[in-house]
Structure 1
Amino acid sequence: MSTRPLGPPAVIPDDPGPWSVVSSVFGSIGAPGRRRPQPPMGLMLSPPPTAVAGELAGLERAAGVAGAAPVRVVAAAREPAFALAFDEDGATLRGVSPHVRRSWSLPELLQASEERPGDDPAAGLAAPAAPDALAGAEPVATAPGGAYRAVYTREGRADVVAVVRAADGALVRWIRGARAAAWSADGRRLALGGPWGVILAELAEG
């Protein structure tokens, strides 16, 4: 049996719109005992949410902020992340998962470091917000300028990252399967993470 690590996954670059699901959450679906090849990582079309309060505003193409406006997925990594943050210089993405700290170099999203500290860096992460109270919830990330916030919530048993317009709490994006998010300092990159790994999206040109 080979012990070589798996290479970076292929990506689905296209943005399906404001209501989506991370493609990798389907990787475990299938007959018991049947191994399936790893699917490309990205976002796939999903129905709009029904249990949220406030307006379903959808994407704002003039926003100039990745995620609030359309994006293009440019890279993916298989290592999990339950929280994410960009370095100020934009060259590194850092994440934590249970008992592990990692970093990835950008824009390729190649793993640069992995540490297993004595204390669990994921132990203090916030619990998910109620989906009908996103406007007042503590965000996991705030876009530069403060106009948009990413909130971790749940829909049934599924993790969700909701991108909310700060001014009125309107929902602009709903990403099923994600639980971590971060914006780069210029707002043009959005990273999303979960037990399945990490994807990096950039503001779509045009």
Structure 2
Amino acid sequence: MSTKPLGPPTVLADDPGPWSVVSMVFARAGRPGRRRPQPPMGLMLSPAPDTALELVGLEDGAPIAGVGRISIVAAAREPAFALSFDDDGRLRGVSPYVVRAWNVPELGLHVEERPPEDPAAALPDPVTPGEPLHEVDAIAVAPGGEVVAVHTREGRNDVVALVRRSDGTLVRWVRGARAAAWSADGRHLALGGPWGVLLAEARETPRS
């Protein structure tokens, strides 16, 4: 078996809208053969969620990534079950027994560490879908504090939901993701899961 690295993944840059699924999760659900090439990494169109939350969707021109339209600018294959941006602007991720940091915006791997204790062991369980998502503990808070990211479930699948705290309305629903983080300026939103990491950038001017 070859140990040659796969190299940077091809990225699907376009935003399919507020209701989406991570392309890697969608591809694996179709059980692709082992010899087939790796699919591009990004987001794909998915049906609106069946939830009691009011679905408000995206806000045109919003400066906070994910609240409005985004472009996927980079991806990495290393898994991340939790994400955060550090003071140097690097993206940090936790997965079972591994801590990593990536340079932004290209998501080149900066460092990989294997601490003696599992850093993922203390991560909280996903929120029960029936709970009011704007009132539970968030995995990330956007600059300004109005929009939060919540890790929940839909059947067996992980979901990251972006919710407004003031009224509990649903802005974005990303199937297949379980981790999220905003950069300090809110312009970048990172999404992660066992499939890897995506970095999205706010697209302030809607396409015509």
Tell me which interval the TM-score lies in, with the shorter structure as reference length: over 0.9
Counting matched residue pairs gives 204
Q: Match for residue 22 of structure 2?
A: 22
Asked if 1 retains the 8 angstrom alpha-carbon contact of 2:20 and 2:46, the reply is: yes
Residue segments in structure 1 that go unaligned for 5+ positions in a row: none
Q: Is the 8 A contact 2:61 2:69 kept in 1?
A: no
Determine the C-alpha separation between the residues in 1 that align with 2:98 and 2:49: 32
Aligned-partner Cα distance in 1 for 2:110–2:34: 32
Counterpart selection for 1:127 from 112, 125, 128: 125
Checking the alignment, whether the CA contact within 8 Å between 1:147 and 1:167 is kept in structure 2 is: yes
Query: Within 5 Å, which residues of 2 pair with 1:1-206?
Result: 1-30=1-30, 34-50=34-50, 52-90=51-89, 92-133=90-131, 134-206=133-205
Report the secondary structure of 1:25's partner residue. Answer: helix
Runs of 4+ residues deviating >2 angstroms: 26-35
The 3-state SS of whatever aligns with 1:26 is helix
With 73-82 and 23-32 compared, the bigger mean Cα shift is at 23-32
Alpha-carbon distance in 2 for matches of 1:34, 1:89 = 39
Check conservation: 2:62, 2:204, Cα contact below 8 A: no
Say if 1:32 and 1:41 are closer, same or farther in 2 by CA, change over 3 A: closer
How many Å apart are 1:34 and its aligned residue? 4.1
Opposite residue 25 of structure 1, the aligned amino acid is V
Deviation at 1:143, TM superposition (A): 0.3
Deviation at 1:137, TM superposition (A): 1.4
Measured after TM superposition, the shift of residue 140 of structure 1 is 0.2
* Aligned partner of residue 48 in structure 1, secondary structure: coil
- Aligned-residue sequence identity (percent) comes to 67
Deviations 1:135-158 (A, max 9, x none): 211100000110100000000000
Q: Is the 8 A contact 2:61 2:203 kept in 1?
A: no
**Equivalent residues of 1:77, 1:198 under 8 A apart:** yes
The Cα of 1:130 is off from its aligned counterpart by: 1.6
Question: Does the CA contact (< 8 Å) of 2:62 and 2:202 recur in 1?
Answer: no
Task: Give 1:166 shift.
Answer: 1.0
* TM-score for both structures, normalised by structure 2: 0.94
Tell me if structure 1 keeps the 8 A contact 2:60–2:204.
Answer: no
